[in-house]
């Protein structure tokens, strides 16, 4: 019964963490990086509401991040108490380790935002077995109460064993799901979760970025150096797109396809393009970027064991073509696109070009970043 109540408290803390992470992402990030956060007061309030007396949060290396007591002063749990938790992945229960007369549940919490694990210790006053018996039995029904408790413990033991097995399986499934989600775009994840199968039209701004003269670099450098360049490029451009509300549709080796929708999509796409160039400024090969605004089709392609989700249409093709017109650190966009005032940019050229496989000419404008710019926030 003590284990049941302790695991219930553990789940309460998991719920608190999930809610606060969604409501206060900035405060959550500060708390889990060891910085002071106004979120601490809200956590204490939730502890009081849920009857939790002590809560300790530590990094996986044992660095204290949060340690509060409501009524009594609780000791910081020793790292050796987390050894079984780290080895099995299952919560462990101990008595009198942070305060006399307290049960403490030790568990590992996986934070999907930072992709890191943290150690949680949840403590509350013990309820002695003798008190539990006395509460459910009377002087006239001692044997009935004893039999009831014994049968409850036997049933709980069977249920708890099955629950532990289910928890391990569920944790494995959640971990696999979280890892797989990192390989899919936001639109693809939404498409799968909502069960959509039909193609949907969107008005969007398409961004295509591609490293200039990557083939020449790959020919004269080792496999490890080439892979490192691609890894740094992917990290830089993905961060730029997602920080400005875009969605990375495809990573194409030395290229990337992304799209922006909704209010402010045009300026968001340009901000992301600027950010891409800034993030790649220290790479041995840097990208050229193409932007085009138009209608795209978001669709699930294929059937059976292998399927894909992507965006299609003339706007995608034209963004790729405009990218091919950009030199290193240049942004080429359709001249018809209207952007806000970007102090980082110089308009360096306008032109009318004929693009491969397109019958109509298109007016374009090229941009470059000024020599001295302030990085975007």
For 99-116, how does the pLDDT look when each residue is reduced to its tens digit (9 = 90+)? 888 888 888 887 777 778
Express each pLDDT in 219-237 by its tens digit: 999 999 999 999 999 999 9
Residue 288 has pLDDT above 90, yes or no: yes
The verdict on 152 and 54 lying in the same domain is no
Whether residue 121 sits in one domain with residue 176: no
Buried b (16+ CB within 10 A) or exposed e, 268-283: bbbbbbbbbbbbbeee
Least confident of 88-97, 283-292, 350-359: 350-359
Quote the number of domains for the chain: 3
| SS3 of residue 141 by DSSP | coil
362 shares its domain with 233: yes
Residues 244 and 361 in one domain: yes
Edge-to-edge strands of the sheet including 116-125? 64-69, 54-59, 116-125, 102-111, 92-95
Residue 105 lies in a domain: yes
Residue 374 domain flag: no
For residue 136, pLDDT beyond 60: no
In a domain, 376, yes or no: no
Does residue 29 share a domain with residue 90?
Answer: yes
Q: Is residue 343 part of a domain?
A: yes
Q: Is residue 375 part of a domain?
A: no
Residue 375 has pLDDT above 50, yes or no: no
SS3 233: helix
CATH code, 7: 3.30.450.20
Same domain, 314 and 250: yes
SS3 40: helix
Do residues 62 and 110 share a domain? Answer: yes
What is the C-alpha separation between 67 and 40, in angstroms, rounded? 10
Residues 245 and 340 in one domain: yes
Run of H or E including 256: strand 255-260
Residue 23 shares a structural domain with residue 105: yes
Residue 276 lies in a domain: yes
Q: Which domain holds residue 31?
A: 2-127
Q: Per-residue pLDDT for 272 more than 80?
A: yes
In a domain, 42, yes or no: yes
Domain CATH for 264:
3.30.70.1230
Same domain membership, residue 359 and residue 273: yes
Contact at 8 Å (CB) between 370 and 346?
yes
User: Do both 235 and 164 map to the same domain?
Assistant: no
| Mean pLDDT for the stretch of residues 210-220 | 93
157 shares a domain with 251: no
**Residues 75 and 145 sit within 8 Å (Cβ to Cβ):** no
* Residue 177: predicted pLDDT: 52
Q: What is the pLDDT of residue 289?
A: 96
H/E element holding 192? helix 186-194
CA 109, CA 89: separation in Å to the nearest integer?
Answer: 10
Instruction: Provide the pLDDT for residue 376.
Output: 41
Residue 267: inside a domain, yes or no?
yes
The alpha carbon torsion through 236, 242, 247, 251 (nearest 10 deg) reads: 20
pLDDT value at residue 161: 79
Q: Which of 142, 160, 183 is the last residue of a domain?
A: 183
Please state, rounded to an integer, the average pLDDT across all residues of the chain.
Answer: 80
């Amino acid at each position: 019964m003590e284990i049941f109540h302790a695991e219930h408290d553990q789940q309460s803390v998991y719920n608190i963490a999930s809610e606060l992470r969604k409501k206060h992402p900035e405060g959550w990030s500060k708390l889990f990086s060891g910085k002071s956060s106004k979120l601490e007061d809200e956590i204490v309030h939730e502890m009081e509401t849920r009857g939790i007396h002590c809560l300790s949060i530590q990094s996986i290396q044992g660095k204290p991040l949060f340690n509060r007591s409501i009524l009594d002063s609780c000791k910081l749990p020793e790292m050796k108490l987390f050894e079984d938790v780290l080895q099995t992945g299952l919560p462990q229960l101990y008595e009198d380790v942070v305060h006399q007369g307290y049960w403490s549940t030790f568990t590992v919490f996986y934070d999907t935002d930072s992709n890191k694990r943290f150690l949680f210790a949840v403590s509350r006053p013990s309820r002695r077995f003798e008190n539990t018996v006395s509460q459910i039995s009377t002087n006239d029904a001692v044997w009935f109460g004893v039999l009831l408790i014994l049968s409850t413990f036997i049933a709980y033991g069977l249920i708890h064993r099955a629950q532990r097995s289910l928890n391990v399986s569920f944790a494995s499934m959640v971990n696999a799901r979280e890892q797989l989600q990192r390989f899919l775009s936001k639109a693809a994840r939404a498409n799968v979760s909502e069960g959509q199968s039909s193609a949907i039209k969107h008005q969007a701004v398409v961004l295509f970025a591609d490293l200039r003269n990557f083939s020449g670099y790959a020919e004269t450098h080792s496999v490890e150096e080439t892979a490192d360049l691609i890894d740094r490029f992917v990290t830089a451009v993905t961060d730029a797109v997602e920080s400005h509300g875009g969605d990375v549709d495809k990573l194409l080796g030395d290229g990337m396809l992304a799209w922006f929708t909704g209010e402010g999509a045009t300026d968001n796409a340009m901000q992301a393009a600027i950010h891409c160039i800034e993030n790649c400024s220290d790479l041995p090969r840097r990208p050229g970027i193409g932007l085009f605004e138009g209608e795209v089709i978001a669709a699930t392609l294929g059937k059976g064991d292998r399927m894909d989700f992507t965006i299609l249409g003339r706007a995608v093709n034209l963004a790729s073509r405009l990218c091919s017109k950009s030199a290193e650190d240049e942004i080429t966009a359709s001249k018809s696109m209207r952007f806000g005032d970007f102090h980082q940019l110089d308009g360096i050229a306008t032109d009318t070009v004929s693009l491969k496989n397109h019958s109509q000419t298109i007016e374009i404008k090229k941009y470059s970043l000024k020599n001295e710019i302030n990085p975007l926030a």
